[in-house]
Amino acid sequence: MKLHELVAATHSPFHADGSIAPEVVATQAAFLAANGIRTIFMTGSTGESHSVTTAEKLALYDAWAVAGKASGLKVIAHVGSNCLEDSKTLARRAGELGFHAISALAPSYFKPANLSALIDTCAAIAAEAPSLPFYYYDIPVLTGVSFPMEKFLTEAPSRIPNLAGIKFTNPDLVSYRRSLDVAGNRLDLPWGVDEMLVAALATGARGGVGSTYNWAPKLYLDLIDAFNRGDLDEARRLQSVSIAMIDAIAATGFLGTAKALMARLGVPVGGARLPLGNPSEAQMDALMIRLGELGFAEWGAKPLQQPALATA
C-alpha cells in the first residue's frame, strides 16, 4: 500500500453535550469524497485519540466501515493507545471490518525505553491484524518518543511482517531523507506536517496525511501540481497561504477552531473535548473574514449541496 496522495485525518464527531456522534460520519465521508479525498485516517491526533474511549472508537470504526464504503473512501484506522491491550482490541476490529490499513503512535506515558521496545510494541499491535498494512505513526512532539526512524526501518521489517511504512509527522527533514533512503521502493513514508509540504516534496515525499486536507484540499492539490510542473514560486506561494490559514485558525486553538470551521462547512463534528478549548461565535465570524481575505473561496472545501425540499 502506498499513500501517494492527500489523506485527510478526520475529526471525531461529538454532540453538543460532548458524547460521541457516529451518525455524523456519513456526512463527513460524503463531504470529503465530494471534495476529492479518496483516503481518510481516523481516530488519530486530529480525531482526539487520547480523549476518546476504546468503546467510542469502536463505534466510529463501525460507522466508518459503512460510510467509507458508501462514499468510495479507503479507511485507515489509528489504533494507538497508552494501553497495549486497547490497541490490540482496536487492531483486531479494524481487521474484521476490512479497513485498508492500521497505524499506531508510541505509548506516551510509560514510554518505550529504546528502539527495540518500540518495535516490540508495534509488532504486538500489528500482529492482531496481520492482513492489514501497518504504519508506525512518528509524532515526537506529542508522544515525547524520538528514535532515529531510519534505524526503525532497518530493524522493524523482520519483526513486523505487515509493516507498510511510517506516517512521518516529524519536521526533521534530515531524518526524513535518511528514512527515504532506507525505505527505497519497499516502504511508504507519507508526510504529516502540512505547513512543510513543499519542503517535504523537495526532500522526496509522495503524499501526505493531514488535518488541513479536511477543509482546504484544493489548496494542497494545486500546490502539489505546481511543484510537479516545476513552478516553485507558485508552490511556495500556496504554502504561504496554507501557513497563514493555519496561523489564523491556531490563534483561537487549532483543533477546536478547525472543528468549528467544519461545522460552518456543513459537517457538524461538534467541539473539541477538554482539555482543548473552543472558539466563540464572534471569533469564528472574524476567522471567516480572515480566511476570505486569504482566498478560502477558491481553495477551501465546498459545502455539500443540500437536497431540495419536496414541494406539494
Predicted structure pTM score: 0.94
Q: What is the pLDDT of residue 307?
A: 38
What is the residue type of 196? M
Q: Quote the CA–CA distance of 4 and 6 in Å, as a whole number.
A: 7
Our CA angle for 188, 189, 195, nearest 5°, is 150
DSSP element (H, E) containing 224: helix 217-228
Catalytic residue among 135, 137, 176, 220: 137
Q: What is the pLDDT of residue 308?
A: 33
Q: Quote the CA–CA distance of 258 and 276 in Å, as a whole number.
A: 12
What is the residue type of 43? T
Q: What is the pLDDT of residue 304?
A: 81
Q: Quote the CA–CA distance of 90 and 16 in Å, as a whole number.
A: 26
DSSP string over 133-177: -EEEEE-HHHH-----HHHHHHHSTTT-TTEEEEEE----HHHHH
Size of the chain in residues: 312
DSSP element (H, E) containing 86: helix 84-97
Domains of the chain: 6-217 (3.20.20.70)
Tell me whether residue 74 is one of the annotated catalytic residues: no
Residue 38 is classified by DSSP as -
Written as nine digits, the cell of 114 is 529504546
Handedness of CA 14, 20, 24, 30 (dihedral sign): positive
Q: Quote the CA–CA distance of 10 and 40 in Å, as a whole number.
A: 7
- Each residue's pLDDT expressed in tens, for the chain with a length of 312 residues: 799 999 999 999 999 999 999 999 999 999 999 999 999 999 999 999 999 999 999 999 999 999 999 999 999 999 999 999 999 999 999 999 999 999 999 999 999 999 999 999 999 999 999 999 999 999 999 999 999 999 999 999 999 999 999 999 999 999 999 999 999 999 999 999 999 999 999 999 999 999 999 999 999 999 999 999 999 999 999 999 999 999 999 999 999 999 999 999 999 999 999 999 999 999 999 999 999 999 999 999 999 864 333 332
DSSP element (H, E) containing 289: helix 281-293
Q: Quote the CA–CA distance of 200 and 188 in Å, as a whole number.
A: 14
Q: Quote the CA–CA distance of 46 and 31 in Å, as a whole number.
A: 17
DSSP element (H, E) containing 150: helix 149-155
Q: What is the pLDDT of residue 179?
A: 98
Strand partners, 41: 9, 76
Tell me whether residue 167 is one of the annotated catalytic residues: yes
Q: Name the phi and psi angles at 19, rounded to 5.
A: -75, 160
Q: How far is CA 265 from the centre of its chain?
A: 19
If we measure between CA atoms, which residue out of 111, 116, 120, 121 comes closest to residue 86?
121
Q: What is the pLDDT of residue 91?
A: 98
Q: What is the pLDDT of residue 282?
A: 98
Catalytic residue among 167, 213, 220, 259: 167
